[in-house]
């Protein structure tokens, strides 16, 4: 097959370095998550106990099923907590390195801002800003390409959902000004 | 033979230009998400689900299932050309697929992968066609205790047979069941776990959780890795396709074995990954020259792909017949069905015949159309990988947000989705499996209803779960599966005691 000689090569200029120091180990995250789940189980269990987790004349009360689930969740998290303390080997593994965390934050923060912007500016304006901003600032893609891609994608979404299928999305001042 | 007539009717429903067009669109979108790094079956279906909200149920499910087939096909492309498995069950395909591509036999490997996926799915669909109506008519006799026992069996088999640490599976499952209970109690109308919040009154929507857990978390995870890749481009010529097909009969044992393994493991929950490895390992064990595996042997592509697709497809059997999804993706499809007001389970076969047989017919058609489509368009899809991730990532985020919002028109759901994204990211990194959670979320309220109805019926006597042969068998089986690791060890220990010399 001669046409398999073609190669596709894609580079990743902003790739995280291999030797970046660890921010936190898996063991620590394991313990923290177990504690959080335990707390959640306690809160939910208490709430269901208050709702009523026993039997009345018609059968189990509304809190019965979830109450015992909270107990199971709590027990499993306790076990997880114990297991995390016992297994030292796993605990030393890296959960995330500094370079990785930086990259994850480079997605998470814009996503968070996008949700915030959706609340106040409407989804379409927010998505234009997210795509253009992300491509330009994180992807280091040429400004005109970023703006064009963002505009085309947002417009396509608007036409698909708002015009063609009547799926109403959160809207903001721009849509109001345009009379949609 | 009734099934056959209904199936033909299903084809008649489907063979309109509109449906065929939707099928193509679904397949293309599916291959697209399958090829993109970091996205795959469940994520793709979750993200694209909102696109279908405005369609009628039959078109919607046709498109969704085609997205699913497309994603399965797409995963094979990246495994073979770039050595990047799109899904966990494509890992076994890379063992021999990538070496083949390196030797310049990429076209052959791709043809083999697509063809065997097609065969695997076809066997599973045949199984569904004939077995699903039988199971569902049998299940029509089920009362609440039987249903609860079946749900219990599903949950227990996840815990007992899953590969992850047991307590982590239990955590994931109980969390999912609890989240499913938030909001108004369906039996008494009382509020639970809402803490006075008006937003939580609606409950936590399954699809919002899934979009966050799978879509958003996957973007975060993908960004962590190095996104550089290097691979082979390939075009497939008709000559190669025909030459691979001509050799197919030689491998019928491998294909058959993998199909059977796949179907079996697909019906029991959580089996596709195990199926692909088992298919590969068995093909290797029975081969005359085991050394050649891993160095680019076509059987090494046939075996895992057939098994993975057979199990991916047969996972839909319990979903259709009993309302119990056999995989994460099937759970998401099930969530989709509920959006359209269809209640999966045995009644579906009675009340919505058109829909069910349309879906089953679309499995046949989707696979045929998909096979032709992937064989002809591989070069285009391989070049999708050239699109920078920085452009794709924000678009996926936007699609996720649209999906999360569209379900209940609530801004709160977008925030919930973000929260689930973070939870999904952390869970995946510390090894808490997400599939049990997904399953629990979708089945939670029904399992609870079944439990409470059977309790009300029996006046609170737990013996109702052993009240007749059927329900007793299922319940006992569930408990055996739950403690399977312990029982297994006990048997092994006993065997050692009997024959101490051989150990």
DSSP state string for chain A: -GGGG-EEEE--TTPPPTTPPEEEEHHHHHHHHHHHHHHHHHHHHHHHHHHH-SEETTEE-TTHHHHHHHHHHHHHHHHHHHHHHH-HHHHTSEEEEHHHHHHHHHHHHHHHHHHHHHHHHBHHHHHHHHHHHIIIIIS---HHHHHHHHHHHHHHHIIIIIIIS-----B-HHHHHHT-
**A7 in Cβ contact with B230 (< 8 Å):** yes
Residue B257: closest CA among B216, B198, B304, B297: B304
Do residue A114 and residue A150 come from a single domain?
yes
Q: Which of residues 101-120 of B touch A (CB under 8 A)?
A: 101, 104-108
Do residue A104 and residue A174 come from a single domain?
yes
Neighbours of B167 (CB within 10 A): 20
Identify which of A29, A104, A111 has the shortest CB distance to residue B224: A104
- Would the pTM of this model clear 0.90, i.e. be above it? no
Q: What's the pLDDT band for A112 if we cut at 50, 70, 90?
A: very high
In a mutagenesis test of the A interface, which of B178, B199, B240 is the best target, namely the one with the most A β-carbons within 10 Å? B178
Confidence check: pLDDT of A6 > 60: no
pLDDT value of position A3: 42
Task: Answer with the one of A79, A95, A111 that is the final residue of a domain.
Answer: A95
Q: CA dist B261 to A152, B88, B275, B306, Å?
A: 46, 17, 6, 9
Number of domains in chain A: 2
For residue A180, the distance in angstroms to the closest alpha carbon of chain B comes to 17
Phi-psi region of B254 (alpha: psi -120 to 50; beta: other; left: phi over 0): alpha
Do residue A102 and residue A87 come from a single domain?
no
B493 touching chain A per CB within 8 A: no
B220 touching chain A per CB within 8 A: yes
pLDDT value of position B185: 77
Do residue A141 and residue A165 come from a single domain?
yes
pLDDT value of position B227: 63
pLDDT value of position A116: 92
Does the beta-carbon distance from A96 to B429 stay under 8 Å? yes
Does A123 reside within a domain? yes
**A12 in Cβ contact with B385 (< 8 Å):** no
Do residue A77 and residue A142 come from a single domain?
no
Does the beta-carbon distance from A60 to B165 stay under 8 Å? no
Q: Between B299 and A4, name the one with better pLDDT.
A: B299
Does A48 reside within a domain? yes
Cβ-Cβ contacts under 8 Å, B234 against chain A: 1, 3-4, 6
The parent domain of residue A111 ranges over 97-178
Q: Which of residues 370-389 of B touch A (CB under 8 A)?
A: 382-383, 385-386, 388-389
CA-CA-CA-CA torsion sign (A153, A155, A159, A165): positive
For residue B501, the distance in angstroms to the closest alpha carbon of chain A comes to 33
| Per-block mean pLDDT, blocks of 10 residues, chain B (503 long) | 73 79 86 72 73 76 82 80 72 83 83 87 87 82 84 82 80 90 77 77 83 84 71 73 81 84 75 73 77 79 85 83 77 78 77 80 84 81 74 85 84 92 90 84 83 80 81 85 82 78 45
pLDDT value of position B257: 85
Confidence check: pLDDT of A9 > 80: no
Q: What's the pLDDT band for A5 if we cut at 50, 70, 90?
A: very low
Do residue A81 and residue A134 come from a single domain?
no
Do residue A81 and residue A146 come from a single domain?
no
Identify which of A7, A15, A138 has the shortest CB distance to residue B233: A7
Does A157 reside within a domain? yes
Do residue A82 and residue A104 come from a single domain?
no
B309 touching chain A per CB within 8 A: no
Q: What's the pLDDT band for A2 if we cut at 50, 70, 90?
A: very low
Do residue A35 and residue A105 come from a single domain?
no
B234 touching chain A per CB within 8 A: yes
For residue A135, the distance in angstroms to the closest alpha carbon of chain B comes to 5
Do residue A118 and residue A164 come from a single domain?
yes
Which value does ipTM take for this structure?
A: 0.88
Q: CA dist B409 to A111, A128, B49, B205, Å?
A: 19, 20, 15, 12
Does the beta-carbon distance from B455 to A60 stay under 8 Å? yes
SS3 of chain B: helix, strand, coil, percent, to 5: 80, 0, 20
Identify which of A29, A153, A169 has the shortest CB distance to residue B430: A29
Do residue A91 and residue A102 come from a single domain?
no
Do residue A120 and residue A140 come from a single domain?
yes
Does A10 reside within a domain? no
Cβ-Cβ contacts under 8 Å, B405 against chain A: 123, 169-170
Whose tokens are 């936190």? That residue is A24
Does A138 reside within a domain? yes
Does the beta-carbon distance from A118 to B414 stay under 8 Å? yes
How far apart are alpha carbons B387 and B408 in whole angstroms?
33
Does A53 reside within a domain? yes
How far apart are alpha carbons A34 and A79 in whole angstroms?
9
Does A18 reside within a domain? no
B418 touching chain A per CB within 8 A: yes
Does the beta-carbon distance from A48 to B193 stay under 8 Å? yes
Sorted by sequence, the CB contacts under 8 Å of residue B120 that are 6+ apart come out as B255, B258, B259, B262, B305, B306, B307, B308, B309, B310, B311, B313
B402 touching chain A per CB within 8 A: yes
Does A2 reside within a domain? no
Task: Answer with the one of A61, A95, A129 that is the final residue of a domain.
Answer: A95
Q: What's the pLDDT band for A16 if we cut at 50, 70, 90?
A: low
Task: Answer with the one of A75, A95, A115 that is the final residue of a domain.
Answer: A95
Mean pLDDT of A127-139: 90
Cβ-Cβ contacts under 8 Å, A77 against chain B: 171
């Amino acid at each position: 097959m001669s046409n398999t000689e073609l190669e596709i090569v894609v580079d990743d200029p902003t790739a995280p370095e291999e030797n970046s120091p660890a921010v936190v180990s898996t063991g620590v995250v394991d313990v923290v998550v177990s504690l959080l789940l335990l707390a959640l189980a306690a809160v939910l269990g208490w709430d269901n106990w208050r709702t009523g987790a026993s039997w009345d004349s018609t059968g189990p009360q509304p809190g019965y099923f979830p109450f015992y689930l909270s107990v199971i969740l709590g027990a499993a998290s306790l076990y997880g907590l114990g297991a995390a303390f016992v297994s030292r080997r796993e605990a030393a593994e890296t959960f995330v390195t500094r370079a990785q965390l930086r990259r994850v934050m480079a997605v998470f923060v814009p996503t968070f801002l996008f949700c915030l912007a959706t609340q106040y500016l409407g989804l379409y304006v927010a998505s234009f800003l997210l795509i253009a901003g992300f491509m330009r600032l994180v992807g280091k893609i040429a400004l005109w390409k970023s703006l064009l891609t963002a505009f085309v994608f947002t417009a396509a979404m608007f036409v698909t959902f708002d015009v063609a299928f009547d799926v109403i999305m959160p809207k903001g001042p721009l849509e109001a000004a345009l009379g949609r | 033979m009734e099934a056959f007539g209904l199936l033909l009717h299903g084809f008649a429903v489907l063979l309109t230009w509109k449906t065929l067009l939707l099928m193509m669109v679904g397949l293309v979108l599916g291959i697209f998400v399958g090829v993109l790094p970091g996205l795959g079956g469940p994520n793709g279906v979750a993200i694209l689900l909102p696109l279908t909200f405005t369609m009628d149920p039959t078109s919607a499910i046709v498109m969704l299932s085609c997205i699913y087939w497309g994603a399965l096909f797409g995963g094979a492309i990246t495994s073979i050309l770039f050595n990047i498995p799109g899904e966990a069950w494509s890992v076994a395909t890379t063992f021999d697929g990538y070496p083949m591509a390196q030797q310049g036999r990429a076209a052959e490997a791709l043809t083999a992968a697509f063809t065997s996926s097609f065969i695997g799915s076809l066997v599973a669909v045949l199984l569904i066609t004939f077995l699903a109506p039988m199971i569902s008519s049998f299940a029509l006799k089920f009362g609440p205790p039987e249903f609860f026992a079946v749900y219990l069996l599903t949950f227990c088999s996840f815990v007992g047979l899953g590969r992850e640490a047991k307590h982590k599976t239990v955590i994931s499952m109980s969390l999912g069941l609890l989240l499913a209970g938030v909001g108004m109690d369906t039996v008494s109308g009382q509020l639970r776990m809402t803490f006075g919040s008006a937003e939580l009154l609606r409950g936590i929507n399954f699809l919002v959780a899934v979009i966050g857990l799978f879509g958003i978390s996957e973007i975060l995870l993908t960004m962590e890795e190095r996104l550089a890749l290097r691979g082979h481009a390939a075009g497939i010529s008709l000559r190669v396709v025909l030459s691979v097909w001509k050799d197919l009969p030689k491998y019928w044992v491998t294909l058959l074995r993998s199909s059977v393994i796949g179907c079996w493991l697909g019906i029991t929950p959580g089996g596709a990954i195990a199926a692909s490895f088992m298919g590969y390992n068995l093909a290797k064990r029975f081969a005359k020259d085991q050394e050649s595996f891993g160095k680019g042997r076509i059987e090494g592509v046939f075996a895992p792909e057939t098994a993975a697709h057979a199990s991916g497809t047969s996972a839909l059997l319990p979903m259709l017949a009993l309302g119990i999804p056999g995989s994460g993706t099937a759970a998401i499809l099930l969530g989709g069905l509920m959006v359209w007001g269809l209640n999966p389970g045995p009644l579906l076969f009675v009340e919505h015949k058109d829909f069910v047989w349309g879906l089953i017919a679309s499995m046949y058609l989707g696979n045929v159309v998909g096979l032709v489509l992937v064989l002809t368009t591989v070069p285009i899809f391989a070049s999708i990988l050239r699109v920078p991730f920085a452009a794709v990532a924000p678009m996926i985020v936007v699609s996720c947000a649209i999906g999360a919002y569209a379900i209940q028109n609530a801004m709160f759901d977008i925030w919930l989705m973000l929260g689930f994204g973070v939870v999904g990211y952390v869970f995946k990194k510390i090894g808490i499996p997400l599939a049990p959670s997904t399953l629990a979320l979708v089945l939670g309220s029904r399992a609870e209803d079944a439990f409470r109805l059977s309790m009300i019926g029996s006046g609170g006597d737990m013996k109702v779960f052993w009240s007749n042969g059927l329900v007793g068998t299922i319940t006992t089986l569930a408990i055996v599966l739950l403690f399977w690791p312990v029982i297994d060890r006990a048997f092994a220990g006993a065997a050692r005691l009997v024959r101490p010399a051989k150990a």
